[in-house]
Amino acid sequence: MFSNLDDYREAAKRFLPEFAFCYLEGGSEDGVTLRRNRAAFERITFEPKMMVDVTAVGTGTELCGKYAAWPAVVGPTGLNGLYRREAEESLARAAHRFGLPFVLSTASTSLLEDVRQCSDGELWLQLYVQRDRRIAEDMMARARGCGYSTLVLTVDTPVPGQRDHYARTGFKLPLRWTPRLLWDVVTHPRWTATVGIHGIPQLVNLARSAGLGANIEAQAAALGSQMDMSLEWHDIAWLRRHWQGKILIKGLLSVADAKRAAQHEADGVVLSNHGGRQLDGAPSAIEMLPHVVACMPRGFEVYIDGGVRRGSDIAKAVALGAKGTLLGRAPLYGLAAAGIDGAIAVLAQLNRELETCLRLLGCADINALTDAYLLGNCVSALEFE
């Protein structure tokens, strides 16, 4: 296996056709938000404490009322079947191996029932809401019946962001075969032999709940042009009627919206700019984190995603008050590079890095990690530049 996440990213880039790698890697418009996600982490500086017994370090915590081996979640990502066959099953198995929850996307390419069958781990469901809300209601019922415990409602996608790489690489659903796209596939024979030979993956969960069958054009429309743009805060009450577990609201980027989520009895929020794939010029989640945490009631859980590439990034988020971080692209690099073994190796790398970071910080228990382990100017360094 490889030495760091960048090596897995490069291996993924070699394996995948350009259109698939750009789908994994790309952001919206000029990539301003995408770059900002990493830059914000890099502006945070540690202040380690020395002469502390770190023979053993504890990383265990509680996420949405359930034990997790470390404060991370393998987050929801769509169309993962572009990278490997049975991608969601592999990600769920990898997450369970490391004692982490796995979040299945509405845009998954494996049935939620199949993912449950392959893993005894903690499973969450990420939900997009279409104009026909019976689709979401059916998907929630199916997930409840399979023991999914937490619902993650994504609210930052009333329409897809402007993603220039779609036009550049010729990728769209349904796929239109152009000479460039054919050449892209032909020049990646390993991907073609293991993934492409089976055709473009289907949005099978959406198809089953919407009764769409194998019509990828209708599936793509349900995921894009048929999204419910009327979704409002009072609709959390509608969710509560169909979901008895924990509810997190994902895609918020302001103190005011986080307060509204708490007022409408959500259990927590995921601060997120959708990995830089929606509104270009938005703040990063880590920038907003300390401001949101300072205003939330006790017991209200705040998670972040976007730009997490090292175990030390997880430590920075926890020090600033995050309950945990959602991992998006990081495990996908491993999955694309080497299948389930790659996903496992990436999670193992992040876990080792987190434990090393805690030892070097002089913090023997991640639950004791606060901003006292950061330089005093770190929060001000996260002010918008």
Q: Which of 96, 165, 188, 274 does the annotation list as catalytic?
A: 274
Phi, psi of 291 (to 5 degrees): -70, -40
Distance CA 2, CA 205 (A): 33
Instruction: Please give the Cα distance from 173 to 126 (Å, whole number).
Output: 21
The bridge status of strand 123-127 relative to strand 102-104 is: parallel
* Annotated catalytic residue 274: yes
Q: Which residue has the tokens 């049935």?
A: 111
Q: How many CB atoms lie within 10 A of CB 296?
A: 18
Give 150's strand partners: 124, 246
Burial 156-193 (b: 16+ CB within 10 A, else e): bbeeebebebbeebbbebeeeeeeebeebbeebeebee
Please, what is the Cα angle at 259 between 257 and 263, to 5 degrees? 115
Catalytic residues: 274
